[in-house]
Structure 1
Amino acid sequence: MLDFEEISAWSLSFSDLEFVHGYRHQTRIGVAAQLLFFRCHGYFPSTLAEIAQDAIDYVCDQTGEPVALAGTYKLTGDLARRHRLQILRFLGFRRADDGDKDGLFKHLSAIAGSVGSNSTELAEKGYAWALRNKVFIPSRAIMERLTRSALHAFSERFLGEICGHLPVETRLALEASLSAPRGEHGFLRLKEDVGAAALDSVLDATSRLEFVQSLDLPFDLMASVHPSWVKTLVRRVEGETAFEMRWHDETKRLGLLAIYIMSRRAQLLDGLVDLLIELVHRIAADIEKVHGKERLLVDIATAAMEMPDGKVADVIYPVAGGARLKAIINEHRAKGTLDTRIQTVMRGSYANHYRRMLPPLLSVLEFRSNNETWRPVLDALALVRSLNEGGRRFAAAALAPEGSIPSKWRKTVIDERGRLNVISYELCVLTQLRERIRAKEIWVAGSNRYRNPDEDLPRDFAQERDAYYSGLNLTRDAHSFVRSVEDQLKQELLQLNAALPSNEKVRLRWHGKNRTCITPFDPLPEPQGLVALKAEINRRWPMTGLLDTLKETALETGFLDAFETSASREALARSVRDRRLLLCLYGLGTNAGLKRVAAGVPDISYDELKHIGRRYLDASSLRAACARVGNTHAGVLPTC
């Protein structure tokens, strides 16, 4: 079913109908379809199969011709070519000359930065320019060549601009990174991940991040282009070794490396924040395991003493007795609260080992918040930084920002003399920082996953706030929203509580780490439609392999066109590239591996397949290929 815009695009005007009715009945549908398709896209279809059936049906209704005549019109003959020339004269188009092609190339190279690095999207902009200027591009190959030339020209110009903004010190540092790729700040070291959650990983990641932040890089220039350009150029660098990078001329070499390092900064920041969150959690989790049994025993004893006449009396009292339970509580109170002792042990673990990570972390991470409620945490971080630089172990308690010390930490942070224990205070602040980062109340400048949450909102959110809330069916009253969520949770918990006794698949356990035990479900029977489909495939193609099926799918859907090289040019013949792409997809998709696939194909090496994987395969290309396969088999075709 066509929507309103598609109906408008596929509607014939009175002059269009007069032009179409000048042809024989057998050709009117083909002429009208080509006319409207060209008006929408700027080029003629290769076959009528490129046009959605709903659009063909609508054209038939307007021309008064039966739909059956549409299948008799062939677009490959001399008659159809003659019709296309007459359509161009009717619309007032002229064939593009060298001047038009040069103007189109300049237009494409000028807009390539904002459109992106995808040649298909840029080609659509090129055809839109041709429609506006009444110019006919006679071949799609010509548009493809102009598009690729424009992409290459913009890429070279953009790398030149990046390189031109690099000061001498930054150039020397980048060259040194390529000259010693395995050095402390070498090219290969910058490519490595942050590593596991350990102190050494934090120190190593902060060292690399300090090097990146010491470079004077043009981040504003990189932010001015479409994100797909950054991804494409980063993929190019990731697929090259330091030796291959040094083969480029200075402008391209330094431009590529600068873009990669600017992109790498956000990844390093994300990884470093992940390490911070994990390590702070680990400090508390390890100690909680040690004292977990005591906490449980104290809770049981306290509950038994508070309600001695309950059901607990029938189970616990005959074994332990009230006197013994009371003695446990008294011993616990004499030692001090369990939270205080856990915090004391945490302080020792942190001071003896993990505290070395704090100075480098605070030097490379810039924490910010849009909520004034958490301003005391940020002020506390600034105080921790100054106290750490001064090497102080104690400070006046008045220096701590108001609200930065929770009540359960006060006895640990402030000693009997009213002094601020700096080490305990650092651990207290880090614990709060971890929770606020996870809740996105505090964010990290330059990070990606921990970026400013306001960046995730639409740009016009402040002006159209009511419309967005209405579209999401949400209230702007925070208290009403919280109450609705609470009511929903209560209803779900009540339903769960009512269903648990009669559910034989779910059991609640009193011991062990996982208290909820769910019996695995029996596998569902295979759908009858899938059984019939497998049987029919085996009957028709009993000896057909998966690779043959992949090849036939590629021929039918053309999904290999979704894979574009991340390099500046493509030297491989199309047939060679497609064959290697199929083998690479087969090897990775079946988990057979590229080495095993290359071993079965004598004329293709492992390095050649690996090159295809580095240059052509990425997440966006795979998604586009899957979409093309799905749309083709679902019969989804473009209308306009």
Structure 2
Amino acid sequence: VKELDSKKGKWYQTQVQIKINSLYSHGSRSNILKLLEYFNFASNSKVGKDLAYAIEFIKDNADIGEDCYPQTDQVPVNAISSTWRDAVITKNADNTTCVNRINYEIAILEELGEYLNCKKLWIKGAYRFRSPEEDMPKDFDDRADYYYGLLKLSKNGKELTDILKKDLQTSLKDLNSSILDNPFVKITGDRKKSRIKITPHDAQDEPLHLSKVQLEVNKRFSTINLIDVLKEADFRINFSNKFNTIASREGINGEEFLTRLLLCVYAIGSNTGLKRVAGANLDANYGDLLYFKRRYISVANIRAATTDVINAIIEIRDPKIWGIMTTGCACDSKKISCWDQNLISQWHTRYRGRGVMIYWHVDQNSACIYSQIKTCTSSEVGSMINGFLKHDSKMDMNKTYTDTHGQSVIGFAISHLLHFELLPRIKGVNKQKLYYASKGDDKLYPNLDPVLKRSINWKIIEKYYHEVVRYIASLKTGTVETEVMIKHLSIDNNDHPVYKALREIGNVVKTIFLCKFITSQDLRIEITQSLNIVERVNGIMGFIFYGKLGEISSNNIVEQELSIVCLHLLQVCMVYINTLLIQEVLSDKALFNKLTKEDKRAITPLIHSHINPYGLFPLDLNQRLIISNDNIKTKTSYQYKAA
């Protein structure tokens, strides 16, 4: 009790710091200090320079054997966070100030991680943690007209703000005029404590005749092996022509090439492994498949083949069954276990285990448009934007549906400047606030008064508009990774002018979206439906990726990504073949005419009861294992014993 009282509620934090101190001082300290010797840090900001100076101080005094630094007044303490200050700066028995050496190093290194992520500090000569100026297009100022044209943005920031201001005023006006007549929405409280209450929509009607479609598919195509799905897709699309060797010449003929290719893709994408597949197939041994994989199978080749299949799916879809071509993708991630002795595998606090995340972009007819591997803690908004930028399919993506992780102000701003709609599910809608165009405009929306926050600062958008476009151009041209950009423009770097401008743009775009989200029940249903499709896709991935209990058994980051893209290729091949099967079954007019609106809404090419992912299990009762020195009396051959 006395200890708790003396720490004034910081007991748990103190215990964590004691544990960190023990692990650092007796474990990783020597290795970290050796690494610091090779890094040369730089910064343009005062706080970054203070931290860089503190790191140099640690390097210079790394060999001091005392618990505290001998000359306290020479220790740079400006970079220490408030969390660690009490543990770093303490009092000796004689009441003199002491700077604890180990805790000081931990505090500075903790700040270093945050500063490197948001690039308040960078490492000279690095790639990911390089200067933010090196992330930008080198010729942006000289070719500004080209980049503005590439992004389809006006060179005048005033034009952007005028359009945003008009759209914001219109959205708030429409919501203000309709909110009282909307039976599903209510705003209560005042500005200090307000709530937006939305009544959940009723469950949609169950489809009546989809089970008949599934039964007919099972009847006509009773059992199809998953590897035959892959084979048939290649016969129709010829995606195998995307696999070129890295060697100077090719020495494998056409049939042998295709056999080994399909076996390799199936082995990796189902996670059964090359050795197991080779052992169950007489056409190639393990050495053949391993050699072929090294020569022909790469992430780039698999992605190119996957794009061919996606484009083929888009072309063959019958609009009478699947509807018109969609332009929206639902985005979500799924955790997959993997070995943890690598830099990408992390502990997931929600799913309680180590692994990586697969982030999917899935269209409204269950075809996975883009897949990528990410860490458990990296930005899902960054992955969403990355998929939009990098998918090479024919799909004209202009909408992305996301779970609650998508309600990022910076995400809204970037999506608007890249010309696609960000449509997240708003879980905490009761806590959301709306922004208005100008000071005094809050009086124009009396029905929204409890949830209004403040006016938009248009001047800051116009002032830094050119810099904002430069950052967006770096994303579009790929000179910077999306995740790196999102971390750079995070709240940890809230004094950065581009962050401030993007935050204001994001507040405008998010408010416009919230007005639509609150007003339209159809939009809320559309978002929920799209996200449910991703959940179904996550379920089918377990059906395909069944080997080794769904765990990626490799510490090689390239091998991990290769497993994911091969899984993606198998998924789209299954969607392609199932699309053909369903369309053939529904060519029967009698069955097609039975389909209701709910049936067409719920129809999916993810059916798999007619697909066998495992292969064949031959049993020969007349074949024995040859085991030497076997003294056990056994049958020489199978003998039938009548009952």
Q: What TM-score, normalized to structure 2?
A: 0.36
Q: Which structure has the highest helix share of the two? A: 1
Q: Which has the higher strand share?
A: 2
Q: Which has the higher contact order (CA 8 A, sep 6+)?
A: 2
Larger radius of gyration: 1
TM-score (norm 1): 0.37
